[in-house]
Chains A and B, each alone.
Chain A
Amino acid sequence: MTAETGNRIVISAVTQIAETSGIAPGMTLADARAVLPDLLTLPSDGRADAAMMERLARWCGAYTPWVSLDGLDGLWLDVTGCAHLRGGEQALLDDLLDRLGGYGFAVRGALADTPGGAWAFARCGENRRVIPRGQAKEALASLPVAALRLDPETLSKLFRLGLRRIGDLYAVPRISLANRFRLEVVQRLDQALGRTAEPIAPRSHERPFRVRIAFPEPIVLASDIAEALKLLLQRLCMRLRQEQYGCRRLEFQCHRVDGNTQRLTIGTARPMRDPKQLARLFAEHLGQLDPAFGFEALVLAAEGVEPLGATQEVILVGADLADAASGENGTAPLIDRLGNRLGFERVQKLLPVASYLPERAYRAVSASEAGVPANISVDGASAAASSTPIASWPLDKPRPARLLRRPERIETISLLPPGEPGMPPAVFLWRRIRHKVRAAEGPERLTPEWWRGDAGWAKGARDYWRVEDDIGRRFWLYREGPLRAGVPVAWFLHGLFA
């Protein structure tokens, strides 16, 4: 592992094999390469390391609830009162280290009366050592002073004075230690020996947004389930309100007496914590539940939460009410309802895309993601505010109101003399209905975008015509490819004008 400090690249962590070849953390990359030319290095990722430690700390919660991070590469576990659960202190330590070793971590550990003592043994002493109660002083005496968590500067001063081991410090009067090194050495020594308290702050425990209700008797009736859900929603929303969150995704788990678990999930377009609205979203799905012999427990969990500040509740009257109902806040509940019923991918907004190809001119995105712009009027006053690359489509070219997903081949009869092969047909047959062309407008030539390999446009440019049949139906036809003598002209229908 390498890390960049200033303008040097420094080795920050090494594998055991590299260590035996003489690579040590703190070397520059160039030096390390000189020692071992085929050294493999990876840039270190501090954030991922921290996240991993966080996960490890959570995992260690299996041994004790009192876990805390120690710097970047250590963990404190306060196992007071927990050791008997694993068969004693030594057994607990072995079990913990074996398991972590089994996951592929290089890990050292020790157990002592004090955090300082455990730290000293884990880093500098014998691995997997359990220091019996009250014997810390003797056990620590043989460890180097580096085991006391001191500054490098203080350490070098101690070295110069010939104080190499912790035992050497016992003989020195405290007052002179304090004079020379301020309180640091004394304090660390006291912490290691248990003369001063060193509290460990446990990781703050994240309470998941999850509420549960269990019944003495299983419930079967739909009304009971709905009522229970209402209760759960109220409790959950109360917590969400206290912690200023809103949920984006909710899961309702119903545990049936026979061990079967049924789940209902709803999503919302924006963070929400209104129990009434959420209940409405669930209401449509409650029918899917099959209670059979009844549900014994119901769990409601917010799986996706987002911060949501407190909102001012105002009493709206008349015009204010209408204002509040319009715009984004107004349509979001509707999108939620439809999205939960039909699937959010089916509630769409269409965004313009800058492309000459008709079928690429727009992109459908889920309305819950696009956000609903508020109060847009036809006059395009807010067109500038739009963040899409193009605000709208050019209006000078006629475009149909409906576009066929795949252009359809039409059979044609051209009454024109063969000298004008590019003209639209006089009669064509589309889906078994005959259309007599009475008027035509065009052509508008569209060429494929060469930077995209578009299979539909493999034959090259298309000439689009707008034609009107004898009763006034208007179609968007095109002719494909270059005109060549002897090659039959292929016509396709691509769109329907209104």
Chain B
Amino acid sequence: MFRSKYLRKTPDAPPAGETVARLAALREELRKIEQSDWNRKTGETIELGLPEIDNLLSGEDFSQDRETLQSKEAVFGLRRGCLHELSGEGAEAFAAILSGRLKGPVLWCADALAGSDLYPPGLTAFGLDHRRLIIVRCHKPRETLSAMEDGLRCRALAAVVGELSARIDLTASRRLQLAAEGSGVTGFLVKSAWRDQISKSQPISRATGKRKAGGIAEETGTEWGQKAGETERFSAATQEKDPSAAFSRWSVGAARNGSGASGALVGGMTWRLSLLRCRNGGSGAWTVKWDAKTYRFSLAAETADGQVDPSSGQRLVG
């Protein structure tokens, strides 16, 4: 928008090269303003431990070597004191891993997700110690948002995780982002993909387990299975367009672990990690593997499943 206005207002536009240079200078200036402002408040990040992603998040030109960047006080990794949105099957796990890397208590605003509860032994495997967890049971999105905001204003916390089913509007996310900026507490908005699936239908109770005799034959590939899939895709698509003041937006989708042969061991955790949007940074998609023993990420070698090559993390500045 800025560019088009600029060009229209000056009929005798300077040569193209000059415009580009000028734009670049302006962008640099903007970035400096943003950066300095942010650095003063928190100045710290959570590193994923994967240079490909950490560099991308820094918003710097990562064709330069790391020493130069460091001398420029560039930062690597996910910014603390910001709001980050996570969606997908691994959203909770990713939030647990990232907040587990911080020091201090973590406020987890859990909502009653259709009969399933956060299970602390499972979270421990992601490096989030149960003693650091304070869980708030919220029943409505409003409660979650207000609890998150209070948490984000509390400097004693390291991170606040909020599970939300409903989409939140720009105002709500801006409030959270401002609260996070003010205190330096990192916020994670988690919209689990399980939610889409779980809240779709009533559970089949134990007593009426045989509700439908030919259940699978009837429903496979026809009505429900397809419909659910469609809605899921639809919501994912709309979510990307959704305005939000969050600093970054990630999708942590399910990805297969094994080589694909039936009966193979499941092993660790693998996710399709996509950075959909990042203020001041780029975007990209990677398949990452989580090692629960060393608490470390690694980029997974791509398999013949037709998934994206890990090196193709594209960068779109702007």
CB closest residue in chain A, given B109: A338
Select the residue from B103, B104, B115, B138 with max chain A CB neighbours within 10 A: B104
Q: Does B201 contact A (CB under 8 A)?
A: yes
Contacts of A362 in B (CB 8 A): 119-121, 130
Q: Mark A339-365, 1 if CB is under 8 A from B, else 0.
A: 001100011111110000010011010
In the A-B complex, list the 4 residue pairs whose CB atoms are closest, starting with the nearest: A330-B156, A498-B93, A472-B254, A409-B209
Knowing A375-B104, A392-B124 are in contact, say whether A471-B219 is a contact too (CB < 8 A): no
Judge if A404 is at the interface, Cβ distance under 8 Å.
yes
Contact of B200 among A364, A431, A470 (CB under 8 A): A431
Q: Is the interface of A mostly helix, strand, loop or mixed?
A: mixed
A409 in contact with B265 given A395-B292, A433-B197, A434-B220 (CB within 8 Å): no
Whether a CB of chain B sits under 8 angstroms from the CB of A123 is no
Contact of A429 with B216 in the complex, beta carbons under 8 Å: yes
Q: Is the CB of B115 within 8 A of A401?
A: no
> Interface residue tally of chain B, by bracket?
35 or more
Contact between chains at A373 and B131 (CB < 8 Å):
yes
Min Cβ gap A464→B in Å is 13
Contacts of B256 in A (CB 8 A): 438-439, 468, 470-472
Q: Decide if B116 touches A404 in the complex (CB within 8 Å).
A: yes
- Is B255 on the interface with A (CB-CB < 8 A)? yes
Interface residue ranges, A against B (CB under 8 Å): 322, 325-327, 329-331, 333-335, 337-338, 341-342, 346-352, 358, 361-362, 364, 367, 372-373, 375-378, 380, 386, 392-393, 395, 398-411, 413, 426-427, 429, 431-434, 437-441, 466-468, 470-474, 490, 492, 495-498
Contact B89 A439 (CB under 8 A): no
For residue A329, give the distance in angstroms from its CB to the closest CB of chain B.
7
CB distance from B90 to the nearest CB of A (A): 4
Residue of B nearest to A423 (CB): B263
Does B304 sit at the interface, judged by CB under 8 A?
Answer: no
A164: shortest Cβ distance to chain B, in Å? Answer: 75
A401 to B194, CA, bound (A): 11
CB distance from A438 to the nearest CB of B (A): 6
Q: Are A431 and B203 in contact (CB under 8 A)?
A: yes
Contact at B228–A441, with CB atoms within 8 Å? no
Q: Are B156 and A352 neighbours in the complex by a CB distance under 8 Å? A: no
Q: A331-B156, A334-B150, A433-B225 are in contact. List 6 more A-B contacts (CB 8 A).
A: A337-B150, A342-B136, A347-B137, A432-B224, A434-B225, A498-B93
In the complex, A398 Cα to B107 Cα: how many Å?
24
Question: Which residues of the other chain, A, contact B113 by a CB distance below 8 angstroms?
Answer: 402
Question: Is B77 an interface residue, CB under 8 A from the partner?
Answer: no
- Chain B residues engaging chain A, CB cutoff 8 angstroms: 89-94, 96, 100-101, 103-105, 107, 113, 115-127, 129-138, 143, 146-147, 150-151, 154-157, 194, 197-198, 200-206, 209, 212, 215-216, 219-221, 224-225, 228, 252-258, 260-267, 269-272, 292, 295
Question: Which residue from B103, B204, B228 sits with its C-beta under 8 Å from A408?
Answer: B204
Number of A-B contacts (CB under 8 A): 247
Per a CB cutoff under 8 Å, which of A327, A361, A405, A496 touches B156? A327
Complex CA distance for A248 and B169, rounded to whole angstroms: 38
Tell me the complex Cα distance, A402–B132, Å: 18
Residue pairs across A and B with Cβ atoms less than 8 A apart, 10 shown, are: A325-B156, A330-B156, A347-B134, A347-B135, A378-B101, A409-B206, A429-B219, A431-B200, A437-B262, A439-B265
Rounded to whole Å, the gap between the CB of A173 and the closest CB of chain B is: 80
Q: How far is the CB of A266 from chain B (nearest CB, A)?
A: 15
Q: Could you say which residues of chain A place their CB within 8 Å of the CB of B262? A: 426, 437-439
Of all chain A residues, the one with the shortest Cβ separation from B199 is: A431
Given A429-B216, A432-B228, also A331-B157 (CB < 8 A): yes
Q: Are A401's CB and B266's CB within 8 A?
A: no
* CB <8 Å contact, B156 and A326: yes
Given the contacts A326-B104, A474-B254, A342 and B225 also touching, CB distance less than 8 Å? no
A330→B94 CA distance, assembly (Å): 26
What is the bound-complex CA distance between A427 and B225, given in angstroms? 13
A401→B118 contact, CB < 8 A: yes
Whole-angstrom distance from the CB of B111 to the nearest CB of chain A?
A: 11
* List of B residues within 8 angstroms of A337 by Cβ: 150
Chain A residues with Cβ under 8 A from B126's Cβ? Answer: 401, 498
Cβ B135 vs Cβ A432 within 8 A: no
**Closest A residue to B203 using CB positions:** A408
A427 touches B216 (CB 8 A): yes
